[in-house]
Structure 1
Amino acid sequence: MKNKIGLFIFLAIILLFNSCKKETNSSTKFWTPSKAEEHYKNQNDSLKWDYKMFLEDLQSVNEKSQNPITDGVFPVANYKLLGANSFKGLGSASNVKKINHKNISYSSFFIKKNDLNNKVLGSKKSDVFFNILVLTDTLDLKNHKLSSSEINSRNHPNYIGQGIYKTKNNQIDYLAFKTADNSSFAIINMRLFDLKFGSTILIAPQKDKSLRSLQVKMPVMEYEELDTKIDSLINTQQVIDFFSKKSNI
């Protein structure tokens, strides 16, 4: 009996230790439930708003955009409430590649290294969290009326980007976002993609006006190596085959 009681106490101590360990690990994370609650309270508190940034945003309130969702001007909590170095900037990148004489346009969104993502990024300077590669049958490199993209930080520490690609008979609308808890999703023409299964989405419009998609996993990469990584990707047989099908535009 004493042996059984001793074993029970030992197991109880192990379970308690593991429970405490989990709580300690979760408490070291930046985006805890208490931090999230505090942040969203600040969003509703006019005393915490960044009025300088709000007035700057108001200057562009009448600017028209091709993007799927109209930008609204909302006052938001000062970024520094989450830490002086919690935000270092973000950006988008785009280019055009070729596969077997076909044009492949891509757009990417990235977040620069800051105090919130530095442990995840390690030695990397930025985090490219979304790439979209679209097969297109028409380009407008001069006037840029057939494509558009933007990324916005006004949901800091969550970030959202959007854009469009126009083909002769179709339009690709896309939106992607990354949250403070390191989750990321994309919506492309109302199809939802969980980016933990691959941050890179390939889209091939079809001759019958339907779409085909291919989700590809790529390692965490920074903006500075993006174009080289895309070159490597489009030279893989899987991607060549996907964009070379006869049913594609």
Structure 2
Amino acid sequence: MKGFGRNKVGFQSVLGLQRIVFLFFFCGLFLCCKPKKAMVGSDRWDVEQLKLKSESHSDTAKWDLKLYKQDIATFEKYAEALSIYPLNKTPFPVAEYDYAVASTPITVKVKNYLFKGVRIGEYENPESEVVKDALTLLVLTNDANAEESTLVESRNFPYLTAQGFFKTADNKFDWVFSKSPDGFSTLLFNMKLFDLRFGQTIVIVPQKDKSFVYCQINDSPENYKNQEEFNLSISENSKIRDLLSRKNTIGN
């Protein structure tokens, strides 16, 4: 899908309007490493390959010191802005890698309800414009200006990782995502764990008592011609409509 998250950075931040200036500086400073040869994230890795990659990250002789120093210098400037996430983001050294990640914010309307969300994925290769979706997260906010933020990280290659938060009128939801190249991926949302092998689309419906209900859908935006067709499928989903009809759902 062309045009989806084309800013190929070491990690990418999708922020509210109040952080747009930070976004431009931040994304411009962190580029992917490009060694002579690397396996892209969409390829399947076996346990032995993962072990070798883990060992290379722990080998001080293989660290990309130029990238490490660049990260340290940038974090000195933006440490406070990065501290807003569920897991504090600080620099660490890694072996050279060639990997590009992507995220894009989305909104979906279902009747009079408004969901804000994010799509997380990885490029088929760093020169490609094709993104493979790994997670679609939707949270009912009923507010187009509700604060949300996402940080997607490439430094853990070959693992895809991301984190962020959503704020509703009277609640905050934190989330952390991890995808392993051996096919296992999880989303931890306010301590609720989702095994994404059974569906990459997670829909969260906050309740008036500050709890939340949810559904997991075995579907993805990349199965549709465009985002609008995916949004239509969400709006027509009977499970989501049932959750929205609950008396305790925010907005009811």
Q: CA separation in 2, counterparts of 1:52 and 1:246? A: 55
Change in 2 beyond 3 A, CA 1:199/1:140 = same
TM-score after normalising by structure 2: 0.73
Aligned to 1:152: 153
% identical aligned pairs: 29
Alpha-carbon contact 1:150-1:161 (below 8 Å) kept: yes
CA distance in 2, matches of 1:78, 1:163: 26
Please, which of 68, 81, 85 is the counterpart of residue 86 of structure 2?
A: 68
Which of 77, 97, 108 is residue 79 of structure 1 equivalent to? 97
Decide which of 110, 130, 139 is 1:134's aligned counterpart. 139
Structure 1 residues 154 and 56: alpha-carbon distance in aligned structure 2, compared to 1, 3 A threshold: same
Query: In terms of mean alpha carbon deviation, does 98-107 or 205-214 score higher?
Result: 98-107
- 1:12-33 CA deviation, whole Å, 9 max, x = no partner? xxxxxxxxxxxxxxxxx85233
SS at match of 2:182: coil
Equivalent residues in 2 for 1:103-118, closer than 5 Å:
103-114=114-125
Higher relative contact order (CA 8 A, sep 6+): 2
Encode CA deviations 1:201-235: one digit per residue, 9 max, x unaligned: 11111011111111111058279844532332223
1:147-180 CA-partner distances (Å, limit 9, x unpaired): 1012101110001011110011111111111112
Alignment of 1:164-183 (within 5 A): 164-183=165-184
Give the total of aligned pairs. Answer: 203
Partner amino acid for 2:193?
L
Spell out structure 1 runs of 4+ moving beyond 6 A: none
List runs of 5+ in structure 2 lacking aligned partners.
1-42
Taking the aligned partners of 2:229 and 2:122, their CA distance within structure 1 comes to: 18
**Structure 1 range deviating more: 170-179 or 228-237:** 228-237
Say if 1:137 and 1:168, in contact at 8 Å, map to a contact too: no
Which letter does structure 1 place at the counterpart of 2:87?
A: I
